[in-house]
Amino acid sequence: MSISITPAANERMRHFLATTPGAAGVRFGVKRTGCSGFSYVVDLAERMSPEDQALDVDGVRLIVDAKSLPLVDGTVIDFQRQGLNAAFVFHNPNATGECGCGESFTIS
């Protein structure tokens, strides 16, 4: 299992974790939605469930649920600012397509 985060994403995640000291980590995964099938989920995790796996990625604890693991293996998480917008950006080698708006992706 391999997930990487860029320095910009690391800084943003550490900021979120610092403002919520009781958090178990940063939850990263996917959910079924959008016009292509899946969208990414990045949020603070209040706790872990038995099916979750915790990964220490450059000092950030990522928590990934069992169903998401094979879909996000190899993903690089970045954080980018463009004008007034700021968002996490995902480079997932498992994605075979994306919708036109970039909000969801497909895995064959």
Look up the pTM and report it.
Answer: 0.86
Question: pLDDT for 22-60, tens place per residue?
Answer: 999 999 999 887 666 888 899 999 999 999 999 999 999
**How open is the CA angle 14-81-76, to the nearest 5 degrees?**
60
> Top-level CATH class of 4-106?
mainly beta
pLDDT tens, 58-103? 999 999 999 999 999 999 999 999 888 999 999 888 876 666 555 6
- Which tokens in the block code for residue 62? 């990522």
pLDDT value at residue 37: 81
Split at pLDDT 50, 70, 90, the class of 108 is low
